[in-house]
Structure 1
Amino acid sequence: MSFFRVAALSVVALVAATGLAHAQDALKKDMIGQWELSTTERSKTCVVTLKGDAAGQGSKLELEPACKTALPFTKDIAAWSVKGLDIVRLQDATGEAVIDFTEVEAGIFEGLRQGEGVYILQNLAAARSMAKSMDQMIGDWAMVRGNGQPICSLVLTNTESGPDNFQVFVKPKCDPAIAQFNPTQWRLERGQIILMSKAGATWQFEADDNAQWRRVPDTADPLIMLRQ
């Protein structure tokens, strides 16, 4: 291999390494602060404070005392670090991953623990704002068609029904299509209301510009949820 080719490859490697270092530094800077670590629908939560000070093979963090009860795996977390371009790692004292997170939306990270499921890491203020939004969902709702004709009434509750889900009560005299679907659980997930049937089928609703929730994907005869 010629000297010039070796030199060119060395420059490329240096540029790549520099770019990676800059990306890691930027992500690390963005992560310093308070975060909420939770199950997907926040039925179990704890506050994690990520710091910039070095700690062993990573950086310091603090877990609120309730973490070990709410999320037992957190007892193994001793530090945090940034790996690759976009992985935020909560690690044990040896540097091994307890859980790795990647950003799925602005300020929202997802991590998977085999045999347990998906966990969410998000900015604490944003998480508490989401909790307030969820509280606002609780109560009586009407389902209407696009022409405004009411076809069903239901109640979203804050009564837990299985992991991360809550009970739904459908009132009598609903449209046959809704009665057949027969939602029994709901949750708020990434800005959508998710209704679930006993059989495990799901309907998703997104808020529109008119402060109402439309079933997605949209159809020529939309199904809309309105707060009563």
Structure 2
Amino acid sequence: MSGRCSGIAVPALLALLAAATPARSQDAATLKKDMIGQWELSTTERGKTCVVTLKGDASPQGFKLELEPGCGAALPFTRDITDWTIKGLDIVRLQDATGQPVIDFTEVESGIFEGLRQGEGIYILQNLAAARSLAKSMDQMIGDWAMVRSNGVPICGLTLTNTEADQDNFQVFLKPKCDPAIAAFAPTRWRLDRGQMILMSAGGDAWQFEADDNAQWRRVPDSFDPLIMLRQ
């Protein structure tokens, strides 16, 4: 009985493996097709950027790419990148002339990939048009804001700047006579991160805000008496 079952199981297993292989190849092929085009490679706060054009033409180790002339100065590790490839089902690899990875990216949300370089930090690869749209959004955030409660009465004023505070964040300044709770939080840095405005204190505490519309941001999670940021 067991021998007869084994004889049936092995061919069945081989058939399943054979059926699974084209699906894996198709997934990788689809990702390759989706990646062909122009992308922005950047630090997480987009303080340093580089435009990468991924091509479908074969190279000795993968597929061809082009880096804009300023890439090496902005992101020195890009000087080692010669081509790109797909590894497994979902890893987008930028690699050197020997096929070794310079940086591997995985998709964290639609059209946005993250990659880690040890000792340096996280880098972002995203569609160039979307990245430029984000840059425009960042520019629109710069300036004076008021924090209000649901009654609309201002309880604090603050200024968002485009001056780098550290690798990922920009400086923010509170104006005098803020509500005690906000004065105690005392945010010193801010950034946009996946659709949220994040304010951070010197001690590392963070408040997250999400946009209700183009001019109003509400602290999340929501509360009975929400804290809202309005552009001045």
Normalising by the residue count of structure 2, what TM-score does the alignment of the two structures yield? 0.95
Amino acid at match of 1:52: G
The answer on 1:95 being equivalent to 2:99 is yes
Higher Cα Rg: structure 1 or 2? Answer: 2
Corresponding residue number in structure 2 for 1:49: 53
Written as runs of structure 1 = structure 2, the 5 A alignment for 1:1-228 is 2-209=6-213, 211-228=215-232
**Post-superposition shift, 1:147?**
2.1
CA offsets 1:5-35 (integer angstroms, 9 cap, x no match): 2221111111221111000000000000000
Query: Which segment drifts farther, 40-49 or 5-14?
Result: 5-14
Counterpart CA distance in 1 for 2:67 and 2:210 is 34
Amino acid at match of 2:111: G
Counterpart CA distance in 2 for 1:179 and 1:27 is 48
Q: Structure 1 stretches of 5 or more lacking a match?
A: none
**Post-superposition shift, 1:4?**
3.0
Q: Structure 2 stretches of 5 or more lacking a match?
A: none
Aligned length: 228
Contact 2:215 2:231 in 1 (8 A): no
CA offsets 1:147-206 (integer angstroms, 9 cap, x no match): 212100111111121113211111000000000111111111111111111112111111
Normalising by the residue count of structure 1, what TM-score does the alignment of the two structures yield? 0.96
Counterpart CA distance in 2 for 1:210 and 1:74 is 36
SS across alignment from 1:48? strand
**Post-superposition shift, 1:211?**
4.2
**Post-superposition shift, 1:227?**
0.6
**Post-superposition shift, 1:209?**
4.5
**Post-superposition shift, 1:93?**
1.3
Counterpart CA distance in 2 for 1:77 and 1:169 is 40
Q: Alpha carbon RMSD of aligned pairs, Å?
A: 1.3
